[in-house]
Structure formats: C-alpha cells, structure tokens
Amino acid sequence: MTNQTSMPRFGLLIVGDEILSGKRQDKHMPKVIELLGQRGLALSWARYVGDDRAAITAALREAFAGGDVVFSCGGIGATPDDHTRQCAAAALGVELALHPQARQLIEERMQDVAREQGQVYDPQRPDNVHRLNMGVFPVGARIIPNPYNKIPGFSCDGPGGGTVHFVPGFPVMAWPMIEWVLDTGYAAHFRRVDWKERSVIVFGAMEAALTPLMERIESGHPGVKVFSLPSVDHPTYGRHIELGVKGEDALVQPAYAALLEGLRAQQASLGPELVR
C-alpha cells in the first residue's frame, strides 16, 4: 500500500492492441489527467502495452516494485485476448481465485439481465458459469465497485510499495471507478490550496541561455517548478519558448515576478503572459 503520509506519484497503464494499432484512440490519459487535476493531483507517467502477456507482466512487475499509484485500464475481461488478471497474478507471484464479493456482484448482474429479458436465471448455464471468470483475481485483491454494470475491478499492492488499480477499458465504466478509488483512497492527498501556472512567451531565445535563470528561480523559490515549452512552428507566435512557474498560488507569484525580472535583465523579447 502506498505510504499515506507522503504525496504519491500517479501513473497510468493502458492495455490493448487496439490502441497501438490505431483502431481506437486512447481517451483515458486526458480524462485521468482531468480527474487528478480536479483534486489538485497530477499524472507523473503513462505507458501503453499491447495484448502480450510477457509485456503486460513485465510492466506490472515494475509497477508493483515501485512506490507509485497506478491505474491500469483494459484487459480484465474473460475473452481470450484479455490477459491482465493473469499477468497481475504472475507479476505478484500469487494464485488466481474467484473473489467471493466479485462472485456475488457478477451473479447479481446476471440475475438483473435475466429479469430484464424475461428469462429464468440459470446459474449452471455455460455462459453464466464462464462470466464468473471476470471475478477471478489475484489472491489478496480488493474490489473496485462498478456503478455501470456491477462487474468489479480490483486493486493489488506490490511488495515494493506500488499499488495498481485495475479497471475495464470501457470509459463509461473505468472513469467513475477511478474517481471512486481517488475519493475513497487518496482524499488525504487532495490539495486544499489554489494551484497555479504563470508563464510568458519569450521570442527568439534559446533554452540553453535560459537554463541558468531557471535553475536560479527553482533554487531560490522552494515549492515551485520552472517549466520551458519550446515551439518552432506555432501558428501565432512562431519560434518561441513558453517559460513559466507552477505550484501553490502564494509561492508562484513571487517566483514568477523574479522570473520576469531575470528575463528583462537579459533584455529578452517578451510576448503575452498566460495564467492557468
């Protein structure tokens, strides 16, 4: 389990050949960035993996060995191309087993469907027996409720301090499940202060020439980060660098003032200022 006394890093693992082949466009990363941002948190990294057991297992083993909070989207169904549940167990070195709470939820879902279709629920029907495989998780997993259709996801803790939360690939299911995980497990880390970015467009400058100023701002203003976003073909500004600082609003303001002072001292050509 992630140390609840320190700010965790958040990562995203997206599983599926359909993303890498271009058959589907990934919608998870921008949404996860949004969900984290609404809570004053940020995404530290993202990774895409195809439907390959060795690759998925290696990615999960690395996630479990680290100290990050990772959301894994996709591959937890029960069709032949779904490997994530099996890979999670392999990465942890544990067995797979039908989770009793997952079984109950899946059976409730099957009963709901039978009732909606005017049929009698038969738990021994082969397709219903097969659906229980969606509740076969690594031993020790915890349930993530699914408000869309009751078929749960799951969470597992790794020996190295990393925690991975597994949700389906379908956004309509995955996103509310990720919100539930954040709100029930990580609310203590939500920022309660305003988080700001302030930046300015710098024309005709080279990053190497601005680096000493950036380093001076960061060392002189603990708690803020300086960022540099160069562009060579912007439709409005042309070749330029967006240079700025980000962090808590109270810390950003003096750091940004110092940044502007340093740029003017270098006689930099400045354009519009931006606030986010």
Residues 163-176 have pLDDT tens digits of 999 999 999 999 99
Q: How far apart are CA 178 and CA 70, in angstroms?
A: 10
- Give me the CATH number covering residue 268: 3.30.70.2860
**Residue 103 above 60 pLDDT?**
yes
Among 189, 207, 232, residue at a domain's last position: 189
Q: At what angle do helices 207-220 and 249-265 cross, to 10 degrees?
A: 140
Q: How far apart are CA 20 and CA 205, in angstroms?
A: 36
Among 189, 207, 231, residue at a domain's last position: 189
Percent of the chain with pLDDT over 90: 87
Query: Residue 245: which domain range?
Result: 195-275
Q: How many domains does the chain have?
A: 2
Looking at residue 3, its pLDDT comes to 47
User: Are 94 and 225 contained in the same domain?
Assistant: no
Say if CB 145 and CB 174 are below 8 A apart.
Answer: no
Dihedral sign for Cα atoms in the order 168, 88, 13, 161: positive
Percent of the chain with pLDDT over 70: 97
Exposed/middle/buried for 49, CB within 10 Å: 0-12, 13-18, 19+? buried
